[in-house]
Amino acid sequence: MDRRHILLAAHPTVGHTSALRAIGAELRARGHGTSFAIVRARVPFASRWPEPVRAASNLPAAIAAEGAEVLPLTASPAALWHAARLPRATGQAELEIALALFTSGLEAQARHIAAHVRRAGASVVVGDYLMPAALLGARLAARPFVALYHSALPFPAEGAPPFGTVLPESARGSGAWREAEARLVRMGAAFDARIARAARRLELEAPGEGLLLRPISRELNLLATAPELEPGLLPLDGKVVMTGPCLPTGAALDDAGRAVLAALPRDRRIVYVSLGTVFNGQPVVFRSLIAGAAATGAHVVVSAGASFDALADLRSTSVQLHRRVPQVPLLERVDSVITHGGNNTVQECLAAGRPMVVIPFGGDQVANAHRVERLGVGVRRSATTLSLDAVREAVETLRAASFRDRARDLARSLEAYGGVRAAADAVLGLG
């Protein structure tokens, strides 16, 4: 076998690393080497920082434990400031901060990536689509670049609100809609300009314009989704391969993970509740979700994250409370899911054929909530109007055969795409 070395790259968030880590595991299982370039978020008194910063600081060690060589990238002084502000922003303000975060330290990180590519003899660079340092580092090292998209949400879709907004589809044509479109154009232009400035300093040709809303790589763009999951998606230019969701396969469970699954009842409906890794520090919201789900008579499994200690009094024979859970195998055992609508959770629920109640707080979650409703696999509810009765009604709604059957049919259709295997095949085809 021709052994290759592949460099993977992303910013330190669970959402932007999960699919890349799954692809890396598949490559290593085939006998290839991998490095993972990731910004190292070293902060003093980490326990006092917001949950996203704490989670980011733990990611490099978790990736190294999986068997990848970790290439720590230096964070710019502005990066922590942007990261700390991110959870408090919503809508396009959140997207604007995220883009500033993801382009901080761009030039230095690109140089570091390029040097490592040459040193390790990497044949391909695979980077998150919002990791432009990986794109420039690949160009600097004269290697092909593969951009990974978790879904097709950045791309225009018929009838969908402008990327990053919290507007409902019913607002189409309104003044707020037009302003959101104009603001998105301005953010896209600023994103292009930051990348172009770094490219000039690196003596590279600028990658072009419109990078935020079109496939960014000229060699290959992997979309960890499928046409069935992207209603209204307009045609995409360039080399695009849809692989279906890229989920971890054959991952070993630790003792805590096995305990979570072993405690599940086999004779009751199970509702899983999670607010992801960025927005989980909301015990008041969790209490409404747990009470509403439990009121349906279901067994409730909760991944509470930063709210774990504050919810300890809710633990009972009907409420299984955990700080974190092995989400992918857990989804095979539950009946429905209450989620914030993050990309990872939504794609994992779609792959498992589980209907969802989506309660978005911002960013891609709002777009995912629209997408779940358009697909007929769930309902959206507002975090500002939650009550026990509202949550109970939403969970009961998902018991309808139309939601269950639609979710299962979509999951069956995804099996043909290949997921991480198809992604690994495409990457190795470039080396």
* Mean pLDDT for back-to-back runs of 10 residues, the chain (431 residues): 91 90 96 94 58 72 92 86 76 89 94 97 97 98 97 90 84 93 95 97 95 96 96 93 90 78 93 86 92 96 93 94 92 96 94 96 84 95 89 96 96 94 96 69
What pLDDT is stored for residue 49 in this prediction? 56
Residues 198 and 124 in one domain: yes
Our count of domains for the chain comes to: 2
* Cβ density class 278-317: b for 16+ within 10 Å, e for less: bbbbbbebbbbbbbbbbbbebbbbbbbbbbbeebeebeee
121 CB neighbour count, 10 Å cutoff: 9
Beta bridge partners of 223: 149, 242
Distance CA 372, CA 354 (A): 11
Q: Which of 98, 92, 95 is nearest to 177 (CA)?
A: 92
Of 145, 143, 122, 119, residue with least CA distance to 132: 145
pLDDT for res 227? 95
- CATH number for the domain including 291? 3.40.50.2000
Same domain, 207 and 322: no
- Check: CB of residue 156 under 8 Å from CB of residue 162: no
Question: Would you state the pLDDT for residue 385?
Answer: 82
Same-domain pairing of 196 and 264: no
| Whole-angstrom distance, CA of residue 204 vs CA of residue 140 | 7
| Nearest by Cα to 382 from 178, 168, 97 | 168
Structure tokens at 72: 């720590």
Q: How much is the pLDDT for 386?
A: 87
Q: Is the same domain home to 162 and 238?
A: yes
Q: What is the DSSP letter of 405?
A: H
Whether residue 117 contacts residue 42, with contact meaning beta carbons closer than 8 Å, is answered with: no
And the tokens for 244?
A: 């279906």
Kindly state whether residues 310 and 267 are assigned to the same domain: yes
| CA distances to 34, 73, 118, 163, 217 from 66, in Å | 11, 19, 23, 33, 27
Q: 276 and 244 share a domain?
A: no
CA torsion sign, 13 to 207 to 112 to 106? Answer: negative
422 and 382 inside one domain: no
Instruction: Say if residue 358 is in the same domain as residue 389.
Output: yes
Whether residues 217 and 305 share a domain: the answer is no
Tell whether 57 and 206 lie within a shared domain: yes
Yes or no: say if 15 and 341 are a contact pair by the CB < 8 Å rule.
no
Q: Give the pLDDT score at 41.
A: 67
Q: What is the pLDDT of residue 68?
A: 93
Check residue 54 and give its pLDDT. Answer: 66
What is the token pair recorded at 365? Answer: 């979650």
Residue indicated by tokens 């922590």: 80
Tokens at residue 256, please? 């805590």
pLDDT, residue 44, reads 56
Task: Judge if 223 and 277 occupy the same domain.
Answer: no
- pTM for the full model? 0.92
Its domain, for residue 204, covers 5-249+417-428
241 with 352, same domain: the answer is no
